Structure 1
Amino acid sequence: MIPVSVVIITKNEAEILGECIAAAKLITDDIVIIDNYSTDATVNIAAAEGCRVYQRVWDGYGNNKNKGIELAKYDWILSLDADEIADLELALALHSLKLDDPAMVYDIKFNSYFGKKLIRYGSWGRDHHIRLFNRTRVKWSQANVHETLLLPDQTNMQRLDGAIHHYSVKDRKECNSKALYYARLSAEKYLTAGKKAGMINLYISPIFSFVKSYLVFGGFLDGKEGLIIAKITYKNKWLKYHYLSRLEKSSRKKQFIKPNLAVEY
């Protein structure tokens, strides 16, 4: 095995977690699970597979991933979600690395699935992320959603062979549900960051996102799934700024509420 710890965050992931862990065991002898008090068999599955399991309260995606990083055995971290499975080619690529430069981070291609169908085109077909890094230099941002890695200056990046297979959604219903959930979280994040809704973000940006995913990136080549994904991309973009607009209005109303100036004698 190589000196890499795999860190996985979970919440009721019993259905797919076993496959994720099985693939991770081809890479390392240290798999850390940060579980948000699952009510299904997630914890039992992870423990039975020899993972180190820690149940922690939910403090956002970035914060909970950082909790796992701190508990890892090794400084090199491969960060995974429970619905992500490293393929054999990626495992072999990882075993060939020297891992002697903490300033290096490794970018990995993602193969995303809609149900059992591999999505080859559109925005999903171009997906890749930095997921292997050294914790002495790199941590996750503390964002509740769409967390990013905080990369210091003089960081070098290398693309690895192989891929992580992301079983993102089972069907259209789940895709819609996730779009709604992430849109709400994104709106809260944007409000905190001082980002404004605006006419362009509300009406032009969603259309542009649909055109880019379905036409420019060739999403139409994925058939009906490509169309569904492009529509959900449009919906998610619009919902983010729709919710942000509502939060902005609510925030402005609170600012106009006069404080209670009554004085007791």
Structure 2
Amino acid sequence: MCCSGYLVGIMAIMVAFSASVVDAKPYGWLAAHATFYGDMSGGETMQGACGYGDLHKQGYGLETAALSTALFNDGLTCGACYEIKCYNDPKWCKPGSIRITATNFCPPNWALPSDQGGWCNPPRKHFDLAMPSFLKIAEYRAGIVPVLYTRVPCVKNGGIKFEIKGNPYWMLVLVYNVGGVGNVVDVKIKGSNTNWIQMSRNWGQNWQTGVKLQGQSLSFRVTTQGGKTVQSDNVVPTNWQFGQTFEGKQF
């Protein structure tokens, strides 16, 4: 009887702790800075360092960002989604937050120090946003603002897309529109007459193989950061051609 109150108290603390863990964002909020590029149209649509093409047609729109070296991770972060909010600058910050997908690389400017224009120089964590996204969290005249960011799940319409490029001797597959964690770390391909073939990352989210697969239906296994895998069986028909895009399952 003497210890019942103590046990109840411990149980209450454990319940509260468990609730806080469940409610917490998996990556927490971290500090960075943000700038913008282009105009309200978002500037020119460029392929960029992730290999994506027309960001509007591919479903990314203007909710995108180029990441500094410290965040880009040599392209392995391509496709990851972030929530970003301006903070600690009441003169320039606006309330609220935005969600973006990492689609490009913001290269260092070694001619300038990191506090005088070299915003993307290592080890600085930086997001270069499309102007419409930047203006949702900060005033135009600010130019650069401090932000907090956290990884969030990617919500995409439809399934994972596979754009097939290359030639009969070398296949390059762009993997995009990936939900869940968003950034792909492993891709395997299977022809209707082969076993599973390990693909290697060429650049960004372009994955390659030298195995000849023409005339076969194709299946894919896509694994994202954290180890989740989705398998799309026979999503590419036997009469596929280079330059075509096909849709698989989604996370």
- Asked if TM exceeds 0.5, the reply is no
- Higher RCO, 1 vs 2 (CA within 8 Å, ≥6 residues apart): 2
Shorter-normalised TM-score: what interval? under 0.3
Structure number with higher strand proportion: 2
In our comparison, the structure showing a higher alpha carbon Rg is 2
Give the structure-2-normalised TM-score: 0.25
- Which structure: greater helix fraction? 1
